[in-house]
Amino acid sequence: METRILDGKEIGRRIREEVGREIEEKKLSPGLTVVLVGDDPASKVYVKSKTKACQELGIRGERVLLDESISTAQLLQVINRLNLDDQVDGILVQLPLPRHIDKKLVLEAVDPSKDVDGFHPVNVGRLCTGDFTLAPCTPMGIMEMLRMEKIAVKGAHAVIVGRSDIVGKPMAMLLLHSHATITICHSRTRDLAQVCRRADILVAAVGRTALVGRDFIKEGATVIDVGMNRIEDREEAMQLFGEDSERFKRFQDKGYALVGDVHPREPLGRAGALTPVPGGVGPLTIAHLVKNTLLAHEARHC
């Protein structure tokens, strides 16, 4: 069996193109503000890519950069100011926050109508009932990909490995609303591989490098790899990629590689479709962030 590689970059481009077309045709002017606390290098890269994606589509993408020493109370004041600013349609607080910040208080302070991450309890509740506008970007991006790639969800058995509030739980709700049968797995699931082998759609979102191997996958299943794990060990890279592979050569040049929760080679020839890492789910997340910003703007102004 030939495994179809699902190109997240191309699908993300198509989603962004749809958003840009609607903004232009309707002459809209959405605005997204991303709040970044501290100097975490990875967070800085993510924030830059998010605001750049917005600006390319005619969305006002702005950054609020705050010192790591800011208190929870001071951060709440910033959030409240953005809540009251009519030019701001979407507010995104970049995670992780410094340990001394009360994350729960901060996320709950965001106006639900501007919560483009879909993390606010009001939006979580709306997602559970199926009457929602804003939902977490990664699961929504995955649903867009399944739709665009014409992968049948209705009646399928979907297994999700991971129960996080950001991916696992909302992914389960979205698939359930699309009439899939859902199984959620986690660290205490017995015989995980056997449970996963029942899946028509397998979503790996647990944060463990190459956990999902060939024996986890039913022949012909669609495998969605949400993991993004950095490896720096040469022996591990050789085992995962193969000594003569192009990926191993790139690893040797750079000294590290990004690997998902799915083994990079073992699903090939067994899975019907597979998202790569990198270049799979990541671009879908940013694409749906700009779509959520558009949806928030339309709900507030149109």
How many other CB atoms are there within 10 angstroms of residue 96's CB atom?
A: 12
Give me 237's structure tokens.
Answer: 């890279």
- Residue 42 near residue 12 (C-beta atoms within 8 A): no
For tokens 């349609």, what's the residue? 89
Query: What DSSP element (H or E) covers 31?
Result: strand 31-37
Of 35, 134, 23, 25, nearest in space to 75 by CA: 35
Instruction: State how far the Cα of 37 lies from the Cα of 21, in Å rounded to an integer.
Output: 33
194 is a catalytic site residue: no
Using CA atoms, how far apart are residues 108 and 224, in angstroms rounded to an integer? Answer: 30
Identify the active-site residue in 111, 117, 200, 225: 117
Q: Compute the distance between CA of residue 286 and CA of residue 125 in angstroms, rounded to an integer.
A: 23
Is 50 an active-site residue?
A: yes
Per the listing, tokens 């996320």 go with 107
- Helix and strand totals (H; E) in the chain: 11, 11
The 10 Å Cβ neighbour count of residue 44 is 15
Q: What whole-number distance in Å separates Cα of residue 137 and Cα of residue 141? A: 6
Distance CA 279, CA 96 (A): 22
Q: How far apart are CA 73 and CA 92, in angstroms?
A: 17
Structure tokens at 53: 């994606």
Q: 94 an active-site residue?
A: yes
Q: Which residues are tagged catalytic?
A: 50, 94, 117
